[in-house]
Structure 1
Amino acid sequence: MPTTDGRRLRGHRTRESVLEAAVATASTAGLDGLSLAQLATGLGISKSALFTHWPDKQTLQLAVIDQAAAQWADRIVRPALDGRHGLAALWAVQENRLAFYAAPVLPGRCFFVTAYTEFDDRPGPVQDRLRAQLVQWEAFQANLIRESITAGELRPETPVQLLAFELDALGQAVVTRARLLEADTVFAEARAALLARLRHWATRPDTLPAA
């Protein structure tokens, strides 16, 4: 039993290492740019060992999407919700997202922006998984907006779905603009734009940063 458990643990660690490396690679090369051989070489493991986890490329691609979503939750969502609710949590999500991109945690800054662009016109299981993730993300932000309205932190007439769209669109725009333009300026402008949208609907704008 200890030997079996040790093998499972090593297998789990290998799987996690491969998926983390794959998310990073796909943030620049896209999901179609993933290669089990390349990942195996980069991590110093055999290609055959990877086939025990992912028998084909599509299985790997779907697993990478799930890994990227888990990374997003760990680095952006959960820290924002730690001890915060409503508008404070909503703003913390925006700040965490910008910090994630600015670090940058991934060489391409955002796995999802790259993947959405790559698969937006390619129907199939990968597009379905990406669409489901995007719907879940927008629903999460919309729920925080509704929570903020209920708490009296955002005005009752705040357009929930429109504001959720605007916040996400501004976040996505940062990724490509920061690659092409002066990154510090892009991040400063994005932060100011996000704040402007939230301050516009806030019942007490002074509870948000001024800039």
Structure 2
Amino acid sequence: MQQMDGRKARGDESRRTVLARAIDIASVDGLEGLTIGRLASDVSASKSGVAALFGSKEQLQLATIEAASAVFAEAVIEPARAYPRGLRRVCALVRLWLGYSADRVFEGGCFFLAASVECDSKPGPVRDGLIRALATWDGYLGVSIGYAMEQGELPELTDAEQLAFEINALFNESNTRSLLHGSRVPYEQARTAIAARLLSLGARPAILAEAGLG
């Protein structure tokens, strides 16, 4: 029994190591850039050993999306939960997302924006997995905005999903322009634009300033 537990522990560790590298490769070269051979070479493992961990390229891609989702949650969603529901948490999500992209938590910027461009016109299990991952984030941001509405912190807002869409669009643009120009300026521009939008919806300037968006 102890021998089996040891094998499982080693297998789990190998899987984590491979997936960590797979995430970085996919964030730069896309999910199609993932190959068993390249991963084996990068982590100094055998091709047969890496293949045994996932079974197929498609399963590797799906596992990479799940692993990237866990990293994203740890970098953005979990820290935001330290803030009270409402506008303060919305501001925390904005600040944390911009920091996650600017600090290159994933080597190629936002993993999910890169994967979306690659997979948006390719139906199948991989695109479905990506849609589920993005829906989790979209839902969390929308619900967080909804709490701010319920608490009267955005009195001019009538549609939480619309605001979530606008914020995500600014995230997308800041990530793309930063990668293209090698500059952090787009993140500051996105922060300024989001703060202005929140102010136009009746957000209190003091809360934005407190949350680092003012």
TM (normalized to structure 2)?
0.93
Q: Is the 8 A contact 1:158 1:201 kept in 2?
A: no
State the shift of 1:56 in Å.
Answer: 0.9
Matched, 1:108 2:108: yes
Matched, 1:153 2:153: yes
Match in the other structure for 2:17: 17
Distance 1:156 1:200 in 2: 8
Matched, 1:87 2:104: no
Distance 2:170 2:202 in 1: 18
Distance 2:187 2:193 in 1: 10
State the shift of 1:139 in Å.
Answer: 1.4
State the shift of 1:159 in Å.
Answer: 2.1
Match in the other structure for 1:65: 65
State the shift of 1:6 in Å.
Answer: 1.4
Q: Is the 8 A contact 2:109 2:179 kept in 1?
A: no
Matched, 1:48 2:29: no
State the shift of 1:84 in Å.
Answer: 2.7
Distance 2:94 2:124 in 1: 30
Which secondary structure does the structure 1 equivalent of 2:189 belong to?
helix
Structure 1 residues 21, 8: CA separation in 2 closer, same or farther (over 3 Å shift)?
Answer: same
Structure 1 runs not aligned, ≥5 long: none
Letter in structure 2 aligned against 1:63: A
Structure 1 residues 17, 26: CA separation in 2 closer, same or farther (over 3 Å shift)?
Answer: same
Distance 2:191 2:159 in 1: 20
Match in the other structure for 2:30: 30
Which secondary structure does the structure 2 equivalent of 1:77 belong to?
helix
State the shift of 1:158 in Å.
Answer: 3.2
Distance 1:168 1:83 in 2: 20
Which secondary structure does the structure 1 equivalent of 2:175 belong to?
helix
Letter in structure 2 aligned against 1:7: R
State the shift of 1:157 in Å.
Answer: 3.7
State the shift of 1:87 in Å.
Answer: 1.0
Matched, 1:171 2:174: no
83-92 or 67-76, which deviates more: 83-92
State the shift of 1:136 in Å.
Answer: 2.2
Structure 1 residues 184, 203: CA separation in 2 closer, same or farther (over 3 Å shift)?
Answer: closer
Letter in structure 2 aligned against 1:54: F
Identity rate, percent: 36
Letter in structure 1 aligned against 2:8: R
Letter in structure 1 aligned against 2:177: R
TM (normalized to structure 1)?
0.94
CA RMSD of aligned residues (A): 1.5
Distance 2:137 2:202 in 1: 22
Structure 2 runs not aligned, ≥5 long: none
Distance 2:203 2:92 in 1: 18
What per-residue deviation string (whole Å, max 9, x for no partner) do you get for residues 4-33 of structure 1? Answer: 111111111111111111011100100000
